[in-house]
Structure 1
């Protein structure tokens, strides 16, 4: 955490150390300030260096991340000019200040070693880690230390040592409803890397679009030129870009529901058997019938290509909101798809509803909802008090149907625990960042944006509410939590600016919680969070200036 002190004679007295204690996100577990030593000026110029060939790629990537913030203060490669050194080093002796838990997104049998240490002295900033990943995490901490300071300020001599609480710290981006071009995706990956996120979950298929080229089934993207999709080459390159920032890509092919785009590209596939009495009552796209040999072979071809193209060990198979399929049909579909992915050499991840098809110790279920999180009115009077729902066309009959549909979610988490599986935490109540900002924290000039940006049926919330989420509040056994993943579905997003406005500032708070295992005290957190607007402006990223954050 940075201790920013003004150069002598410029700004007067040194600010209290408490004021700047939490400006580094995620907040390190161990922080020591060394009194009696000279401060380090941040004006630069800065020289990035490493003598270890094993860190050559880390050094290139760190330089690219630093450039938007330091500009000409960062000396070019090979420059002979003197400068303050940012040194990258591998060091097996860096101590772990936290035990890392959960599932390693790189598929390792134990969580990856991301332990890091940063040391600030009067002549340099030293970034150390046991592994290249740890050195990279140290460098993102150093970036925040330097970039959040004014050029005329100085850094106190200090040391940080830290390791993540959760090994899986993810961000889901919905490219199906709004395609995210590669250049925009690079900017989002860089943002995620700054906050030590290490999983990029790509929601590639849904009713609205199919966004990845499948060589064996070209019809799936034949009509997507206007909406966009990732070619084989673009998808491979995107994974390489993420990997250089120590981020694993997890693709999602959503099955057996959410399949309207697949059905439009390949008409004639038989519908899954539907529960009696459902036809004609509510509009829905029939889920896929995996008991049908033709459908089963089609899905196998799709997954074979996706698994072959994916570098990481995980493939997400969806399994959510399969409206219009019998319990037996759903169980058949999920078990067939799980088995396919395993035979293809990958480990399946699915939404929590997959637990209703049975679940075992090797399964990961992404927990996103329970009846309480749906936050639905129980009467016409309560509906009248929810203009967000009434304005979206919700009726009493539709709300009752929704409650019946989501009632089984009350038991999903327990089903996962009983079956020996792991839970990836993405509770809609806090980690769904398509939720609108509350009007009470919207500046007057942003009131209209707050009212219109986000999914209309979610109750709007303050930044403080989102930042206060605690993984421990779900009362789950710690050893059964795979990790934490924020999501951003793009039902009504029109452009990149709206996307980052929903992400920021909330993503920084949730990334900090995922790393440290719990939220920070709000009064300290809101001050530190406000300082980070400097980073976002440097990178040209729009954010929402909620009034409950201290932007001063």
Structure 2
């Protein structure tokens, strides 16, 4: 039984073996000149797993072939739903086919992206088969359900250096993720160089930021793996780092009675001409250095701004990004500023998803919240603040926009692992790693999420994006442990459009620990997964 993830929709096994030993050796080839870059990238991606089993380019050594081919006859199967992150709207550009027959593995796609997706399927097939086993003759064909399949990484709160980020891009590519969303700015840090405003990163030498050259290098590396980078400049709230670097910007008008109730950083006032000039300068530099068509403007949790001030801010931010030649994306709260048909709002929360207790007795039964210092007054304030989120999705639908699905309940991978799935010796890690105010969950719970459960018209879903915010992350090991194994499950749902049956998925997922070990990637060995 193969362990390819995402599991291909169509898998046909033919009678008899293919004559191919998983041990190889293997020769990677491509005939079409347009696939030269794909071949180089695939070779790099295969290297940690096949090593000497993959013969060097140009070697005369006898070896079985892994052949990359462009083939317009690959079945489209379906048009990917949602928004293509590279700005195109063509059907089935990632459709692929893999055949294991006649002494070769042939990876075919309608486009170079499809060929690359086929190659990652072939890698799973070879690397997750015991080296002394013979591959059976078989064929896979598939295409994605959602065109946008993303991963958000919070580099503002925990900076991820370039070398570590490249490792994460490779991991994303292994599971057919095609968007890397970088949360680059927040209260805790500003992580992208703005040449026109060097003060924004002047104090970040020790904590880190991406220079313009590093940002371009990230985009090029991701693009070679058919991943589009989307930068996020989170405004008008979450702006403490910006205010510290550029003091003197006036606060946005605050709702009456808010002052003194609890501390917050005043959001930016985009009605102020000087603030608009600063923000436009920032966005101009970001848009100029971004290859992809999207720039995320934030728009979430703008505590301490009037409804009118928030609406003005979001409209100004959208207009600036459009004028600078990019397409704006924002969190779901942006719907309160109005929605037009081309707008995309990233859906992450509703009151039910907040999962907050109603009484002191219920709070006492939630050690995750009590341990984080929650009390009745703070819970009441949170419920009041998030109450409007109940209507955000409908506002987007009513305005003709689209929703990018990132529900906190399942796709926020900074959620702690449930104590009941913690293996021996990892109980403390399960209890401390991750955001403390989310209810801990098992891997099965995350892997069981169904996009259809939100009862949204499928044609209005832009795609699916997992997130990993970093309020309390300390290092790369913790980051990878929160991602794995859950990222592989979410990526499978995003590609297939629905969850796999759990018993099959848990067996397949367990075999992928071999890939992570070969890449020296830490993971959480939850006991609800059947580890090989």
Which category describes the TM-score, using the shorter chain as reference length? over 0.9
- Matching residue within 163, 175, 185 for 1:205: 185
Is the aligned partner of 1:284 residue 2:264? Answer: yes
C-alpha contact 2:76 2:92 (8 A) present in aligned 1? no
- In 1, Cα distance between equivalents of 2:478 and 2:491: 20
SS at 1:405 equivalent: helix
- In 1, Cα distance between equivalents of 2:192 and 2:23: 45
Q: Detail structure 1 runs of 4+ shifted over 6 Å in the superposition.
A: none
- In 2, Cα distance between equivalents of 1:109 and 1:61: 25
Report how far residue 316 of structure 1 moved: 0.2
SS at 2:87 equivalent: coil
* Distance change >3 Å, CA 540–CA 483, structure 1 → 2: same
C-alpha contact 2:79 2:91 (8 A) present in aligned 1? no
- In 2, Cα distance between equivalents of 1:109 and 1:64: 29
Is the aligned partner of 1:258 residue 2:250? Answer: no
Is the aligned partner of 1:226 residue 2:206? Answer: yes
Q: How do 1:53-64 and structure 2 match up within 5 A? A: 53-64=33-44
Gaps of 5+ in 1: 1-19
Corresponding residue number in structure 2 for 1:3? none
- Matching residue within 417, 442, 466 for 1:462: 442
C-alpha contact 1:96 1:161 (8 A) present in aligned 2? no
Q: Deviation per CA, 1:178-211: give whole Å up to 9, x if none.
A: 0000000000000000000000000000000000
Is the aligned partner of 1:138 residue 2:128? Answer: no
SS at 1:491 equivalent: coil
SS at 1:214 equivalent: coil
- Matching residue within 486, 505, 523 for 1:506: 486
- In 1, Cα distance between equivalents of 2:17 and 2:515: 28
SS at 1:417 equivalent: helix
Corresponding residue number in structure 2 for 1:301? 281
Corresponding residue number in structure 2 for 1:491? 471
Report how far residue 150 of structure 1 moved: 1.4
- In 2, Cα distance between equivalents of 1:388 and 1:38: 53
Report how far residue 37 of structure 1 moved: 4.7
Corresponding residue number in structure 1 for 2:321? 341
SS at 1:444 equivalent: coil
Corresponding residue number in structure 1 for 2:291? 311
C-alpha contact 2:417 2:441 (8 A) present in aligned 1? yes
C-alpha contact 2:97 2:139 (8 A) present in aligned 1? yes
C-alpha contact 1:455 1:492 (8 A) present in aligned 2? yes
SS at 1:35 equivalent: strand
Q: How do 1:36-55 and structure 2 match up within 5 A? A: 36-55=16-35
- In 1, Cα distance between equivalents of 2:339 and 2:18: 58
- In 1, Cα distance between equivalents of 2:78 and 2:59: 38
- In 2, Cα distance between equivalents of 1:335 and 1:40: 59
- In 2, Cα distance between equivalents of 1:82 and 1:381: 71
Report how far residue 112 of structure 1 moved: 5.7
Is the aligned partner of 1:415 residue 2:415? Answer: no
Report how far residue 96 of structure 1 moved: 1.8
Q: How do 1:64-143 and structure 2 match up within 5 A? A: 64-111=44-91, 113-143=93-123
- In 2, Cα distance between equivalents of 1:297 and 1:339: 13
Report how far residue 51 of structure 1 moved: 1.5
Corresponding residue number in structure 2 for 1:482? 462
- In 2, Cα distance between equivalents of 1:39 and 1:469: 39
C-alpha contact 1:70 1:147 (8 A) present in aligned 2? yes
- In 2, Cα distance between equivalents of 1:412 and 1:155: 50
Q: Deviation per CA, 1:465-493: give whole Å up to 9, x if none.
A: 00000000000000000000000001111
- Matching residue within 249, 256, 261 for 2:229: 249
Is the aligned partner of 1:438 residue 2:438? Answer: no
Q: Deviation per CA, 1:75-129: give whole Å up to 9, x if none.
A: 0111111101000000111112233110010001345600100000141100000
- In 1, Cα distance between equivalents of 2:43 and 2:424: 39
Report how far residue 149 of structure 1 moved: 1.1
* Distance change >3 Å, CA 38–CA 358, structure 1 → 2: closer
- In 1, Cα distance between equivalents of 2:130 and 2:46: 15
- In 1, Cα distance between equivalents of 2:200 and 2:283: 13
Corresponding residue number in structure 2 for 1:149? 129
